[in-house]
Structure 1
């Protein structure tokens, strides 16, 4: 059973694209969050999603929100992905899938493909939207719409 609307974002740590330790406590309770789980770096849908978040990142920042992308790819893969597409937001390596399990992100395609789910949390870390949809580019306008309502 995964996280639901009204739940708090759980504490977690992971390596970011630069290989630094990221602690969720550094942002939970500080600013609204958009945390999106995606299947894999450098695949067409995931690249489209990351680039859409990139293109709208200033809109999220202007509203005080932080965007965090999470997949099971390695730090090296994230580093390359970030550089190649100039991604300005945090990408975290969930190589052991602990964060995905913590959130309860479902798998797709008979459990073969990691799910694509976006969580939006308010400044207190309370989840106010969960968007579970394989369509990569639909996540960005949905998340932005919810963040705008917080203002």
Structure 2
């Protein structure tokens, strides 16, 4: 799951495009990609239309999923109210095999541009797959 900061975040836009460009590598691993955008459904539709993502994009205007998975924010109440100012990026690898959804690995950004590379995300997925096969 790619937890985005905001509709306008340049770093988040770069991440979703980079993952889209290499989406086949995720599919080859039987890994689903879901991008979570802390915006309305209307803004999510515009985002999807602009970037033609080959994977799911979820509108999370109430920040329910973001809060459930601990997406970090900074700057107190101001950062909690204004996503572009306070919300930090997060990437989570979940394992749904066996019927339960389990968090396997997470990267919580320390700064607005702190996204793991696609290679790093694929390595997180590979570690999750290896862990289950042991």
- The runs of at least 4 aligned residues of structure 1 exceeding 6 Å deviation read none
Identify the residue that residue 131 of structure 1 maps to in structure 2.
107
> Distance between the aligned counterparts of 2:53 and 2:37, measured in 1?
14
Match runs of 1:1-151 below 5 Å: 35-108=1-74, 110-111=75-76, 112=79, 113-124=86-97, 125-133=101-109, 134=111, 135-149=113-127, 150=129
How far is the alpha carbon of 1:138 from its aligned partner? 2.2
Alignment deviations for residues 63-96 of structure 1 (CA, whole Å, 9 cap, x no partner)? 1000111121111111111111111111111111
| Gapped regions of structure 1 (runs ≥ 5) | 1-34
How far is the alpha carbon of 1:140 from its aligned partner? 2.4
Structure with greater helix share of residues: 2
CA contact under 8 A between 2:90 and 2:115: conserved in structure 1?
A: no
Structure with higher Rg: it is 2
> Distance between the aligned counterparts of 1:74 and 1:122, measured in 2?
27
Question: Which deviates the most, 136-145 or 48-57?
Answer: 136-145
> Distance between the aligned counterparts of 2:11 and 2:29, measured in 1?
26
1:59 and 1:128, CA in 2 relative to 1: closer, same or farther beyond 3 A?
A: same
1:136 and 1:56, CA in 2 relative to 1: closer, same or farther beyond 3 A?
A: farther
Point out which structure has higher relative CO (alpha carbons under 8 A, 6+ apart). Answer: 1
Give me the TM-score of the superposition, normalised by structure 1.
0.69
> Distance between the aligned counterparts of 2:24 and 2:73, measured in 1?
30
Q: CA RMSD in A?
A: 1.7
